Structure 1
Amino acid sequence: MLASVRKSMRLLPSYEMPSDEFVAVIRRDAPGAGELMWMKDDRTYCSAIVREGLARVECGSLSESWPRKGVLNVTRGEPYQENPGEQPSSFVFLAVVEGEHGPYHYKGAAPQAAGPVNDAVVAFASGRKLGLISYEKHSTQIPETEICGADGAVCFPAYYPNR
C-alpha cells in the first residue's frame, strides 16, 4: 500500500512524506488505492487519498476550536470519477478527532449510498491521541447523517466540512 502511494507522490515534486512508521493507513482498498494520514506535529496534519495512481494530498493545521466536542477537522468531500469527463462516482471525506473513541460508525443505519467508515489512531510522544477517520458517499443526493464513536462521546455531521 505505502509503496504504491509513494509512487503516486513522486508525481508531486514539492511533496515529501515521512517514513512509513509515521504514516497511519486508514483504509486499504484495491491495489494502489486507499487513504493515509500523518501528523508533522500534534497540530499539523497531512492526508493522501489515492485512487488508481492519482494521489490528492492536503496539509493543514487543526482547528483551535470547533462547535462539536472532540472534532478537530472534517474535510470537504474529494470527488473521484471512474472515467474522465463523467460525473464523480464518489466523494471521500476525512475527519480528525481528539482521543480514542473508535471504532466509528454512522449513527443509526448507514445511508444507502454511503461507503464504510474506517479509522486509525495516531499517538504522540506527549500522550496525545488523535482518531483519523475516512468515509465516502457515492451520490450527491444522500441524506444527512452523523458519524459517532463507539462510546457515543464524539459525533459529527458526516458531510459538513469545518472549512
Structure 2
Amino acid sequence: AVLLGLAGALHAIRLARWAGIRTAAEPLVLVLHAGYAFLPLGAIALAAEILMPGVFGMAAAQHIWMGGAVGLMTLAVMTRATLGHTGQELHAGLGTVAIYLALVTAVLARVVAGVWTDEAMALHSLAGVAWIGAFGGYAVLYGRFLLRLPPAKRI
C-alpha cells in the first residue's frame, strides 16, 4: 500500500510538471490531463483504503481508476481520433465538453456513493445515467462522422 501511494504521488508530481492548466483554452487537450489525473488519484485512494479500510470503500477507490482514468481517457481519445480521422477541425465544442463533464460526474458520483452511504442508491443512479449520457452523447455527436463515407483522397 505504501508503494502504491508513493507511485500515486510520483504520478501526481509528473502530472503537475506538465502544467496542464495551460491547455485550458482547448478542452480536447485539457481532458487528456484530467483523465491522467485520475491515475494518481486512484492509486492514492486505493492505498488509503488499504491502510485505513472504510475511508472510500474499495469499489469507490477502484472506480477512480477504472471509470476516471480508463473511462475518461478512452472517451478523450475517441473524440479526438474521430475528429482527426474524419477530417474535422480538432476542437471540442460544447457538446463534447458536456460529455466529458458527464463522465467526470459519473465517476465523482460513484466515489461519493462509497462515502455517503445513505445516498448511495441515488448516487449510483446518477453515476449510471451520467455514464450512459457520456457515451450515448458521444454516439449522438460523433456517429454522423463515423457513419458517412470518408472524404475522397486527392492523387
> What TM-score do you get using the length of structure 1 for normalisation?
0.29
Q: Which has the larger radius of gyration?
A: 2
TM-score by length of 2: 0.30
Q: Higher relative contact order by CA 8 Å / sep ≥ 6: 1 or 2?
A: 2
Query: Which structure is higher in helix share?
Result: 2
Larger strand share, 1 or 2? 1
